[in-house]
Structure 1
């Protein structure tokens, strides 16, 4: 039996996805894991727009239009590739951030809560036998695109989760040794082995 820790340590992202994607109560439960993310001030900034079926073609055209707004010189080949990708994913979850800039909780904490929620979704997908990947890029900064999903300023996009069933076994994730990213503090500035390695 796979332990929860094994799931967390073996999860890997993939965009090689096919049907089915989660649905019904299973999808609701997966999304419920996002609502367990840290939420300072209980502001509940997480918002998820589910795109499936015929709506995928609409999504693809809106993403291409957004790409042309933020990067007008994008080659046609790249536009066609992006259109095809967005139109054929089994499911796309649009990650929205319902932000309250006037609140005493700083925006960066609200945004990090959305990020933590997205990570919970990816972990839950993997635990349930599905796959996914979080994609973003300059279009997430496009207020026109955000508004088309219902996120008018000050609310924003955090990216997109592609969701489905992996069409091939996931490769064993290659991760660095965690020891390089931790340090025991003794009152002086921490020094990390990973930073020394990068400097060489």
Structure 2
């Protein structure tokens, strides 16, 4: 039986390291289509527990400077190599979409389900980028949970970063890696003993 086209896209999905992403990135119309597609995820209660923050152009360097300064604030004797690495985290891909989980505590839909919706958006955005021929990588790292970085991105008290999605044109084909064997992960439940 031939593999349906959508499954072929899933089977070929791979992350392109952000250091291997360059301009051009998607134009505004393409990006909006990608975000619209990525928003079509399971969303119990129709809460839309996510939003997007675009980081591009000079804002990438500003974010890198913020990360470097925060690193030194947390550890004034941090090695220069660590500070430089943080300064360069947002400098390669021409576009970074921050997917923010916009959580609704106290709602009948559990927070875990809201988080899973935001995580599904991250994955769907990777798929949308690949469908348009771009490379992409979903990253978090320490910056995603740092209160100073979250404040600089104007996150509300019930918002968290689900992922920084780095998007651009791949300068190399991402190598395939070993994938888990689904058969080894599958068990059957036969009812209570």
The TM-score, its normalising length taken from structure 1, stands at 0.86
Instruction: Give the conservation status (yes or no) of the 8 Å contact 1:70–1:138.
Output: no
Residue 138 of structure 2 corresponds to which residue in structure 1?
134
* Counterpart Cα distance in 2 of 1:132 and 1:70: 30
- Using the TM superposition, give the Cα deviation of residue 88 of structure 1 relative to its aligned residue in structure 2, in angstroms: 3.1
Of residues 114-123 and 30-39 in structure 1, the stretch that sits farther from structure 2 once superposed is: 30-39
Alignment deviations for residues 54-106 of structure 1 (CA, whole Å, 9 cap, x no partner): 11111111222344455666432022022123123211111211111121211
CA 1:167–1:185 in structure 2 vs 1: closer, same or farther (change >3 Å)? Answer: same
Secondary structure of the residue that 1:87 maps to in structure 2? Answer: coil
* Counterpart Cα distance in 2 of 1:59 and 1:173: 31
* Counterpart Cα distance in 1 of 2:126 and 2:46: 22
C-alpha RMSD of matched pairs (Å): 2.1
- Using the TM superposition, give the Cα deviation of residue 156 of structure 1 relative to its aligned residue in structure 2, in angstroms: 1.5
Residue 7 of structure 2 corresponds to which residue in structure 1?
5
Instruction: Give the conservation status (yes or no) of the 8 Å contact 2:21–2:92.
Output: no
Residue 185 of structure 1 corresponds to which residue in structure 2?
189
Alignment deviations for residues 111-152 of structure 1 (CA, whole Å, 9 cap, x no partner): 111000100000111111111111112221222211221212
Instruction: Give the conservation status (yes or no) of the 8 Å contact 1:93–1:161.
Output: yes
Q: Is 2:156 the partner of 1:152?
A: yes
The TM-score, its normalising length taken from structure 2, stands at 0.88
* Counterpart Cα distance in 1 of 2:73 and 2:109: 32
Q: Which blocks of at least 5 consecutive residues in structure 2 are unaligned? A: none
* Counterpart Cα distance in 2 of 1:69 and 1:96: 24
* Counterpart Cα distance in 2 of 1:106 and 1:171: 38
Q: Is 2:83 the partner of 1:79?
A: yes
* Counterpart Cα distance in 1 of 2:86 and 2:33: 30
1:167-178 aligned within 5 A:
167-178=171-182
Residue 17 of structure 1 corresponds to which residue in structure 2?
21
* Counterpart Cα distance in 1 of 2:111 and 2:77: 32
